[in-house]
Amino acid sequence: MGKHSLSTRRRVAVSILCVVTIVGAFVVRLVDIQVVRADQLVSASLEKTSGAGTLYAPRGNIVDTNGVLLAGSVTLFDITISPKDVDDVTRKDENGDTITVPAAEALAEVAAVLGQQPDAMQKIVQEALDKDPSANFAYLTRGADYATYQALLDLKKRGIWWVYTQQTSGRTYPNGAVAGSLLGYVGSDNGGLGGLELAQDDCLTGENGQQAFQRSKDNVALPGTTVITKEPEPGGELKLTIDSDLNWYLQQLVASQVQAQGAKWGTITVTESKTGKIRAIAEAPSLDPNDVSATASEDRRSRVFQDRFEPGSVFKPLTAASLIDAGLATPASQVVADYRYKPENGASIKDALPHERQQLTLAGVLQTSSNTGTSQLGERLSPEKRYNYLDAFGIGHGSSISFPGEQKGVLHPWQKWDNQTYYTTMFGQGVDVTGIELASAYQALANMGEKLPLTLVEGCSYPDGTVTQVPEKAKPTRIISEKAALETLGMMETVVTEGFWSESLEIPGYRVAAKSGTGEQIIDGILQDTFFSSMAGAVPADDPEYVVTVTLKDPLYKRSSAAAAPVFKEAVLQVIKKYGIPPSTTPGANYPGTY
């Protein structure tokens, strides 16, 4: 009996010891988990169950001078997949029975939503796995719309959990190709790649925010757990000087003429002469930034800034203004103009069409667009002085706008002019300009001889009210005297009333000053059979408010400035209507063309 009791007591003691040992181990483990390694384990746990995401800052809008939206941001979605997790899907069918959908069929469902081929979808998954068997990320598509996002959410509810959506921001251009070449375009990351989208990227780009959340085992954010750790800061709103309505009309106009004349491309610009603000840059063909790939690569630029050409006779008013400003000629200065002129230096100058000897005034030289008459009167200016005038007009300087990829015209130093160039620069040959340089030179002429920097941006406004890039009021630079400008504009007015294209240019009740041009093209020293047809001028001629320029490259059917004349007239008419310019109340200039 005593031995049995002793044995029982021993067993109880051992049992108690075991229990104490086990409890002690649990206590030690609990202390280790809840005290010693608590922070470390909590962090590891949160790392496994927590997620973070980017809150994309909207790119700033681009608006016209009236606040009309030209470019804006929209919510889009990048669609990704976890290749290693692609597997059969279990779901309920219409009868409530549990079924298994093979992975290939599930992928086909995703492909149908994204508008892709199932084979292409399978290829994306397989290529990712070939590179990394544990791959958990691959893009299926980028920039999907909200409808696609909703359709994918439905698929996730039906068991396809290994496809993910990530909110991002995209770009939309409500007016399509209107001013599209000017606006430019963005890349897949929503950063500017061309045009003003690139030039003004610092203004338009916002600062992304961040969010944190708890997630389920299939990496879906748990409702109610999302916390914004950093608010996104939207980009600034870029306001342009462009009037979208005017730009739309002129773009239809120039596109129609490009088609009608079989031209390669065409442009129209409208500039306020007294402020330098550009109100329209219409180009055809023009980029539609909503679908960049649909536009040929050579048409994805703004030709007004990025193409050079020999302007031809639209240069003659600059030569005439320089002569008058230098006191070497007046509108009545006389010259005998033959079809050909062969000066002593060996050059050979001829007019566009054969004609009998003409007794012309300087005004008549502009009216008939006589190269030989321009050359003889232009001789009165030394090459150095002629160069200095052209340089002051801005030829070869580009613009102050600093448009991406902007070219500068070519005005060779006068010391390098050969015998022929000595004369041809007087009438726009042997010299290259850009469309923006031509508009700028005519702005100075129309502003009574005072040149202003042209502007395209009115400012960049941020959500906090800060406004940057507001152009400072520039002090004009006098290029020629007011008298020289007025008399040159008067002679250009007689081009409209008495010149070759008067029937195509006259607008009853309005005084318009203009000059046509046909610029020949020389490539590698060989004269081509292609050319530029152009027209430039101002309205109203007695006190110009707007400068209008038109350029067509290689028109096939009217192989002269006649191709540009009707477009110029319609553009001027639209400017008159748009800005309510009243009819002229003073008599037009009366400079006889002959003597």
Question: 588 burial class (0-12, 13-18, 19+ CB within 10 angstroms)?
Answer: middle
Nearest Cα neighbor of 326 from 269, 284, 387 is 387
144 CB contacts (<8 Å, ≥6 apart)? 76, 77, 78, 79, 114, 152, 165
The whole-angstrom separation of Cα 253 and Cα 130 is: 55
The structure's pTM equals 0.83
Residue-level pLDDT at 459: 96
Query: Residues 477, 483, 486, 492: is their CA dihedral positive or negative?
Result: negative
161: helix, strand or coil: coil
Q: For the chain, state the CA radius of gyration.
A: 37
pLDDT given for residue 289 in this prediction: 95
Q: Enumerate the β-bridge partners of residue 109.
A: none
Quick check: 498 and 529 in contact, CB under 8 A? no
pLDDT of residue 75: 85
**How far apart are the C-alpha atoms of 121 and 86, rounded to whole Å?**
11
| CATH topology assigned to domain 244-579 | Beta-lactamase (3.40.710)
Q: What are phi and psi of 126, to 5 degrees?
A: -65, -40
Burial of 40 (0-12, 13-18, 19+ CB in 10 A): exposed
Cβ burial, residue 204 (10 Å; 0-12/13-18/19+): buried
Residue 190 Cα distances to 302, 390, 404, 434, 530, angstroms? 20, 41, 17, 30, 40
Collect the ranges in the chain with pLDDT lower than 50.
Answer: none
Q: For residue 476, what are the contacts with CB-CB under 8 A and spacing of at least 6?
A: 447, 450, 451, 452
Dist. CA 584–CA 577, nearest whole Å: 14
Sort strands 433-434 and 308-309 into parallel, antiparallel or unpaired. Answer: antiparallel
Q: How many Cα atoms occupy the beta-carbon half-sphere of 514 within 13 Å?
A: 34
Q: 3-state DSSP helix/strand/coil percent for the chain, to nearest 5?
A: 40, 25, 35
Residues 6+ apart with CB under 8 A from 587: none
Q: What pLDDT is stored for residue 222 in this prediction? A: 61
Residue pair 306/198 in contact (Cβ under 8 Å)? The answer is no
Half-sphere exposure of 254 (CA within 13 A, CB side): 33
